[in-house]
Structure 1
Amino acid sequence: MKVLILGGVAAGTKAAAKLKREDRSAQVTLITKSADISYAGCGLPYYVGGVIEERGDLIVNTPEKYAALTGVTVYTLREAVALDSEAKTVTAKNLETGEDEVYDYDSLVIATGASASVPPVEGVELSGVFTMRTPDDAIGMRAYLEEKNVKRAVVVGGGFIGLEVAENLKDRGISVTVIDFASQLLPNVLDPEMAGYVKRHLQKNGIRVITGTKAEAILGDNQVSDVRTSAGTLPCEIVVLSAGIRPNTGFLAETGLEMFKGTILTDGGLRTNLPDIYAVGDCAMVKNRLTGAPQWSPMGSSANMEGRTLAQTLAGKEKCYPGVLGTGVVKLPGLNCGRTGLTEAAAREAGFDVETVVAVTDDKAHYYPGSDYFITKLIADKKTRRLLGAQVLGTGAVDKMTDIAVLGISMGAVLEDFDNMDFAYAPPFSTAIHPFVQAVYILENKLGGDLISMTPAEYAAGKAEGYRVIDVGQEPSIRGALHVDLGKVNGPIEGLDKEDKLLLVCNRGKRAYFLQNRLRYFGYTNTVVLEGASYFNEVRVGAPGAAVSPEEITRVKGLGFLFDKRTQDRFNARVITRNGKVTAEENRAITEAAELYGTGEIAMTSRLTVEIQGVPYDNVEPLREHLAKAGLETGGTGSKVRPVVSCKGTTCQYGLIDTFELSEEIHERFYRGYHNVMLPHKFKIAVGGCPNNCVKPDLNDLGVVGQRVPELEAENCRGCKVCQVENACPIKVAKMVDGKLVIDQAQCNHCGRCVGKCPFNALMNYTDGYRVYIGGRWGKKVAHGRYLDRVFTSKEEVLDVIEKAILLFREQGITGERFADTIDRLGFEAVQEQLLSDGLLQRKSENLSAQKHLKGGATC
């Protein structure tokens, strides 16, 4: 039996290897367009981020090793260009010689996969535009990031790969914006309310997300500078196109193969409509395991299973591929996401009588260190009570939750089948009643009428109109809501009529359910529990202008909104600028935001951050969304690196360095790159262009001052009675002593004003550099910083010292103290010694991964 396989990544190599194990006599030939086979396509984003360090780690097998291991004949750099199903031949072009080669077969397996879909927009050919499909894509992107020192990226596409790339770019300290034409992230993967939570989470973690937005053009001269979108122009140095894939089936267009939108239709045996021709992997259309309807599921997992099943079929075994569930899992910054089965919309479209629930549960014993949560959405059929789908968000093992659902759906399980499943339990791993079973119990309660609830989707659509919100949290946390202490409810609640429409909300949902149970017993007839509670939903209560709770004031302060104490609900929003430097388009966006969501007034802070004045609490999120569309963000508060401030730099007559360029680099590397790094207190950085001290670099936690160190050539001094150098020195450090010019370097501030003033060339040469001050502060307690002994002559040295200072403050500072206090406690000489050596950088990973300073000391 001659079996020809087209394609050498997942499905093709799996089919070939398994077939040779099933039937050693089979003549199996594999041809592939690439020089590589069996590469780890799903690992490419992690190579970009540096998690996978070596290119070789992406290659699962070389052609030579694979052929020796399996007995399969492998030809690389062969592109299939024609199929003659009657003659049973495939024509392929040898990409090394350019010649056509003909391969015959008894059975043909098409596993040609898919390629990145490149949107038809202007500028996709520019340097700095990448797709993410092959090892060469990832290798080229990582090299470009390093070579160009990229600081800003735009990812076009909010699917699995796009979000994984965004996370890895962010981990490299790059500012990332994700745009998607769809109205939500992960379309057809998550339901809108679950995708909405993911979007909010990404934004809180420093990744801008703009949905419902189309990329219109990529701009730049030779290399990328901006992306023009339907929501505005986004500056960037790299663009990642991750807007989907298309099957590599163009060469099959006139062959008679039955296809749909480029995918090859197959039956349960993975057969096509043509005799002895099969298709597997990303080029094949299989079926949905639940509905039987055709479904394209281009995933590495299903590709491998399809290849294996087909190999057994070709070897004569009775095998059938049952279809896919669209199972997937993705790692995001501080959040994992898993899903399987039908979405709510797909289940309704398929004709099921759908019921859903959104449940927030512990992911392990709540008292165990590192415990967190799962947000689980279950979709089931009301009549049969059959599980149809699951979507899970959380910081931990969402894959195990998803896999339980996969098993249940595949076995046709109904909800009650999960009730007493004996899942593994120990505090480090799970809860006594497994979190998946807890979610099932909540859905069973809802179906049985024991729980009357409102879904997050219903709440977002306005179904809570007319309901009075009851806060059932352990402490009051919902502005404008009536707080009820659950433990004290032993009868009717004073002030609440039993016919009132009451929406019960707690932090995660359990206390609200308990209160509903009691109130129904006491005769309350219109109580509804909000699923997902305040943990998942953005709960707003009361008329505009109502007082904001202290908890909410703290929360939105972390977003850059400072409470105006003269009001009950208004804030000043800090818009982060590049040292006060904004484009005309960004300025228009800020002005529009001030008019739409604030008082229309804009102020500049002392640190050159724009503040939009008088933003009502209810306008906080709309304002952030408006600014995000222009590539802007709010922030700059908390115990973190603060936005950088600098003087005019080279536009000042005394300027010695380009302060704008340096401050922007510091901003990108440390304000953005260290966005999630908690410190003992705030850490302010100032860049001064000269020793005139305009931005008070010595009154910041760290200051950088431009230097011009004069190089005196004493042998050229003529001992003039009137020394031009002495006259030029503004601080009178240059002096004539015994007929010779002397400059006391210990007192010289390196302003450079003396350079070139001597007519006899005694002072023509100089060295440009940077002086670094540490330990300054102003405010309640003023302290002048002290400069390090070295004058640094390269920008990279300065950036390294800044990073070391931040790392030292995080590692050795005490929560609540300023950097000046840390230096005083440790001693300046001890701190300087560490900043001038490399130990802090060597300990960086361990330092940043430590759970430290989770509650810092910054108060403004």
Structure 2
Amino acid sequence: MKVLILGGVAAGTKAAAKFKREDRSADVTILTKDKDISYAGCGLPYYVGGLIESREELIVNTPEKYTALTGVKVITGMEATALHAEKKTVTVRKQDDGEVQELAYDKLIIATGASPVLPPIEGIEQEGIFSVRTPEDAIRIRSFVSDGGVKRAVVVGGGFIGLEMAENLKAQGVSVTVIDAAGQLLPEIFDPEMAGYIKKHLTQKGIRVLINTKALRFAGSGRVTGVQTEGMLLPCEMTIMAVGIRPNTAFLQGSGVELEQGKVLVDQQLRTNLEDVYAVGDCAMVTNRITGKRQWSPMGSSANLEGRTLAQVLAGKEKRYPGVLGTGIVKLPELNCGRTGLTEAQAQAAGYDVVTALMVTDDKAHYYPDSSNFIIKLLADRASHKLLGAQVLGTGSVDKLIDMAVTGIQLNARLEDYENGDFAYAPPFSTAIHPFVQAVYVLLNKLSGELVSMTPKEYLDGKAADYTVIDVNPSPSIRGARYINLTEVNGPIDGIGKDEKLLLVCRRGKRAYLLQNRLRYFGYTNTAVLEGATYFSDVRVKNAQAAVSPEEITRVKALGFLWDKNSPDRFNGRVITRNGKITADESAAIAEAAQRFGNGEITMTTRMTLEIQGVPFENIEPLQEFLAQAGLQTGGTGSKVRPVVSCKGTTCQYGLIDTFALSEAIHERFYLGYRDVKLPHKFKIAVGGCPNNCVKPDLNDLGIVGQRVPEVDMEKCRGCKVCQIEKVCPVHAASVQDKKIVIQPEVCNHCGRCIGKCPFKAFVNYTNGYRIYIGGRWGKKVARGQYLGKVFTNESEVLDVVEKAILLFREQGITGERFADTVARLGFENVQEQLLGNGLLERKAENIAAQKHLKGGATC
């Protein structure tokens, strides 16, 4: 039998290898357009991020190695251009010389995969715009990041690949913005409220996310400089296009193969409508296991399963491919997100009376080190209790829970089948009652009426508008809510009617459920527990007049909102301006935000951030969301690197260096890049363009001052009686001695005023550079910084010293002390020696990973 396979990545190579094992006598040939076969496409983002170090690790098999292992012939660099089913031939063209030939087959397998969609957007052909599909794509991206000075990237598309690329670009120190035209991340993959939690988490981890945002144009002249949307221009040096993929099936037009939007339709034996023609992988449209309806699921896992099953079918075995569940998982910064089965909308569209439950549970024994939480959403059919889907978020083994759901769905399990599941337990791995089983219990209690609850989706949709919010936390935590101490409820509660609508809310849901049980016993008939509680949802009480709790004041301070002590619930929100410079559009957005969410007033802080004044507590998150749509963010508080301050630099008559460019680089690399790095105290940086020191760099933890070091040509010095250099020097470092100009190096501040002032051209040449001050401080205890004994002439060297200073402060500082105190304690000479050496950078990974300064010393 002569089997011809078009495509050699996952499905094609799996089908070929398995069939060759089934029938060693078969003549099996793979044709592939690429030079690589069987590469790890799903691993490409992790090569970009550096977790996978070499290209070779991405290549599962080379053609030579694969042929030796399997006996399958592989021909690379050859593309199929037409199928002639009536003749059982395929027309192919060589990539290198264009030679065309026809190849015959007995059985044909179409496994041509899919390619990234590149929409016809103006400017998309420019350098710096990438898609992610092959190892060569990943190699080009990683090289571009390391060689091209990439500080900012925009990822267009909020699906699996887009978010994985965002995480891995961030790991390389790139500031990332993700935009998606849809109203949520991961549409049709996660339910909206789960996607909303993911979006909030990414924002907290330093990845800006803009939904309902479409790329309209790519700015730049040959190399991308920004992405234009309806509301703003997003500056960037790189763009990743991850808006989706399209099946590689154009060559099948007119062949008679049945297609649906380019996907090849197949039955359960992966046969097309043409005799002896089959299709597998990303180019094939299979079915959904639950609904039986057509579903496209371009995943590496299903491609391999389809390839293996088809090989068995070709070998004459009674095998069928039952379809897909759309199972998927994605790793994000400190959050794993998995799903399988139907979403809530998909289940409703399929005709199910769907019931859901969302709960927060421990991911292992709560007392075990590094224990965390799972957020689990289960979906089931109300009548049959059949499990329909699962979505899980958490820092731990999310895949384990998803795989439990997959197994159950494939076996047509009811919720009751999980009820007493004897799953593995030990404190390092799980809880005594497995987290998945706990979620099943919640859903069963909801179905039986033992639990009456409100889902996060219902809460977001306003169902709680006429409910009284009851705070069931161990201590009052929800501003404006009626607090009830669970342990003291032993009868009816004064002031609350038994038919009053009560929304019971705690941290994760358990205490609220226990209170509901007690209240039911005492005759209360209209209570609902908020699923996921405050761990998942932002609970707000309308028109709350109560003071904001100390815990909430601390929480929002980390977001850049400082409490106005003259009010019970008003805050001033700091808007980061990236060195005090903003665009007219950004200024307009800030002004509109102040009117909408604050009291209409804006103030400038001494750190050149803008503060929107008088923001009510309940307006904090809406204000942040509004500003994010304009490309702005709040922050600038806490024990970490603070936003950099800059003077006007070269736009000033005395400016020697481009302080805006340097401070922008510092902002991207250290304020954004180090936003999750905890320090002993705040770390302030200022950049001055000249020794006039308008922004007081020497009174910051680290200051950078522009320098212009004169290169004196003594042969041209005439020793004039009235020396113009001596006359113009503002610090009196220059004087004529023995008929020659003398510059006192310990006095000269390299202001550059002398350059060009000598009529005999003794002061023409100069070197621009930077002087770095460390250990300055302003406030209760003033400390003037000392400068390092070197004038730096290279900006990258300056940035390295800044990074080493931050690392030294984190590694050797004592929690609560300022950098000035660290320098004084260690000794200036010791610190200088470390900042000029390489040891701190060599220890960087270990330093950053250490659990240190978890509660720093900054109070503002």
TM-score, reference length from structure 2: 0.98
Q: Which moved more, 1:809-818 or 1:731-740?
A: 731-740
Matches within 5 A, 1:337-376: 337-376=337-376
Letter in 2 for 1:130: F
- 1:234–1:630 contact (8 Å) kept in structure 2: no
Q: Distance in 1 between matches of 2:226 and 2:374?
A: 38
- Point out where structure 1 has 5 or more consecutive residues left out of the alignment: none
Q: Which residue of 2 aligns with 1:829?
A: 829
Letter in 2 for 1:230: E
Q: What displacement does 1:715 show?
A: 4.8
Q: Which residue of 2 aligns with 1:270?
A: 270
Letter in 2 for 1:322: P
Q: Any idea what the Cα deviations from partners look like across 1:475-506, whole Å, max 9, x if unmatched?
A: 21110011222222222223322222111100
Question: Kindly tell me: are residues 361 and 3 of structure 1, through their superposed partners in 2, closer, same or farther at Cα, counting changes over 3 Å?
Answer: same
Secondary structure of the residue aligned to 2:312 is: helix
Q: Distance in 2 between matches of 1:803 and 1:587?
A: 31
Q: Any idea what the Cα deviations from partners look like across 1:201-224, whole Å, max 9, x if unmatched?
A: 111111111112222222222121
Q: Any idea what the Cα deviations from partners look like across 1:551-578, whole Å, max 9, x if unmatched?
A: 2222111111122222222222211112
Q: Which residue of 1 aligns with 2:771?
A: 771
Q: Distance in 1 between matches of 2:617 and 2:144?
A: 42
Q: Which moved more, 1:233-242 or 1:644-653?
A: 233-242
Q: What displacement does 1:694 show?
A: 0.8
Matches within 5 A, 1:485-496: 485-496=485-496
Letter in 2 for 1:167: E
Q: Which residue of 2 aligns with 1:678?
A: 678
Q: What displacement does 1:761 show?
A: 4.1
Letter in 2 for 1:752: G
Q: Which moved more, 1:276-285 or 1:520-529?
A: 520-529
Letter in 2 for 1:274: L
Q: Which moved more, 1:89-98 or 1:225-234?
A: 225-234
Matches within 5 A, 1:381-460: 381-460=381-460
Q: Which residue of 2 aligns with 1:116?
A: 116
Q: Distance in 1 between matches of 2:85 and 2:182?
A: 40
Q: What displacement does 1:714 show?
A: 4.1
Letter in 2 for 1:413: A
Q: Any idea what the Cα deviations from partners look like across 1:790-844, whole Å, max 9, x if unmatched?
A: 1111111110000000111111112211111111221211111111110110111
Q: Which residue of 2 aligns with 1:223?
A: 223
Q: Distance in 2 between matches of 1:594 and 1:329?
A: 40
Q: Distance in 1 between matches of 2:534 and 2:523?
A: 26
Matches within 5 A, 1:244-643: 244-543=244-543, 545-643=545-643
Q: Which residue of 2 aligns with 1:202?
A: 202
Letter in 1 for 2:395: T
Matches within 5 A, 1:82-93: 82-93=82-93
Q: Which moved more, 1:327-336 or 1:490-499?
A: 490-499
Q: Distance in 1 between matches of 2:261 and 2:350?
A: 21
Q: Distance in 1 between matches of 2:586 and 2:628?
A: 10
- 2:479–2:544 contact (8 Å) kept in structure 1: no
Q: Which residue of 1 aligns with 2:156?
A: 156
Q: Distance in 2 between matches of 1:852 and 1:338?
A: 31
Q: What displacement does 1:531 show?
A: 0.2
Q: Any idea what the Cα deviations from partners look like across 1:305-342, whole Å, max 9, x if unmatched?
A: 10011111111211111111100000111111000011
- 1:481–1:542 contact (8 Å) kept in structure 2: no
Runs of 4+ in structure 1 deviating by more than 6 angstroms, as ranges, are: none
Percent identical among aligned pairs is: 71
Q: Which residue of 1 aligns with 2:143?
A: 143
Q: Distance in 2 between matches of 1:615 and 1:176?
A: 28
Letter in 2 for 1:304: N
Secondary structure of the residue aligned to 2:720 is: coil
Secondary structure of the residue aligned to 1:430 is: coil
- 1:175–1:672 contact (8 Å) kept in structure 2: yes
Letter in 2 for 1:687: V
- 1:545–1:616 contact (8 Å) kept in structure 2: no
Letter in 2 for 1:826: L
Q: What displacement does 1:654 show?
A: 1.7
Q: Distance in 1 between matches of 2:743 and 2:586?
A: 48
Matches within 5 A, 1:26-65: 26-65=26-65
Letter in 2 for 1:771: R
Letter in 2 for 1:807: L
Q: Distance in 1 between matches of 2:432 and 2:609?
A: 50
Q: Which residue of 2 aligns with 1:847?
A: 847
- 1:479–1:542 contact (8 Å) kept in structure 2: no
1:81 aligns with 2:81: yes
Q: What displacement does 1:658 show?
A: 1.0
Q: Which residue of 2 aligns with 1:806?
A: 806
Q: Distance in 2 between matches of 1:148 and 1:355?
A: 51
Q: What displacement does 1:713 show?
A: 4.2
Q: Which residue of 1 aligns with 2:189?
A: 189
Matches within 5 A, 1:647-796: 647-796=647-796
Q: Distance in 1 between matches of 2:503 and 2:446?
A: 16
Secondary structure of the residue aligned to 1:432 is: coil
Matches within 5 A, 1:172-187: 172-187=172-187
Q: Which moved more, 1:487-496 or 1:29-38?
A: 487-496
Q: Distance in 1 between matches of 2:469 and 2:82?
A: 66
Q: Distance in 2 between matches of 1:228 and 1:756?
A: 44
Q: Which residue of 2 aligns with 1:17?
A: 17
Q: What displacement does 1:91 show?
A: 0.7
Secondary structure of the residue aligned to 2:216 is: strand
Q: Any idea what the Cα deviations from partners look like across 1:602-647, whole Å, max 9, x if unmatched?
A: 2221121122222222221222122111211111111111111111
Secondary structure of the residue aligned to 2:79 is: strand
Q: Any idea what the Cα deviations from partners look like across 1:380-424, whole Å, max 9, x if unmatched?
A: 112111111000001111111111111111111111111221211
Q: Distance in 1 between matches of 2:192 and 2:185?
A: 8
TM-score, reference length from structure 1: 0.98
Q: Any idea what the Cα deviations from partners look like across 1:456-493, whole Å, max 9, x if unmatched?
A: 11111111121111111122111001122222222222
Q: Distance in 1 between matches of 2:658 and 2:235?
A: 21
Secondary structure of the residue aligned to 2:184 is: coil
Q: Distance in 1 between matches of 2:449 and 2:349?
A: 25
Q: Distance in 2 between matches of 1:209 and 1:689?
A: 34
Q: Distance in 1 between matches of 2:230 and 2:524?
A: 50
Q: Distance in 2 between matches of 1:326 and 1:851?
A: 38
Q: Which residue of 1 aligns with 2:103?
A: 103
Secondary structure of the residue aligned to 1:841 is: helix
Letter in 2 for 1:178: V
Secondary structure of the residue aligned to 1:404 is: helix
Q: What displacement does 1:648 show?
A: 1.1
What is the alpha-carbon root mean square deviation over aligned residues? Answer: 1.4
Q: What displacement does 1:230 show?
A: 2.8
State the aligned residue count. 860
Q: Distance in 2 between matches of 1:815 and 1:526?
A: 50
Q: Which residue of 1 aligns with 2:238?
A: 238
Q: Distance in 2 between matches of 1:516 and 1:347?
A: 29
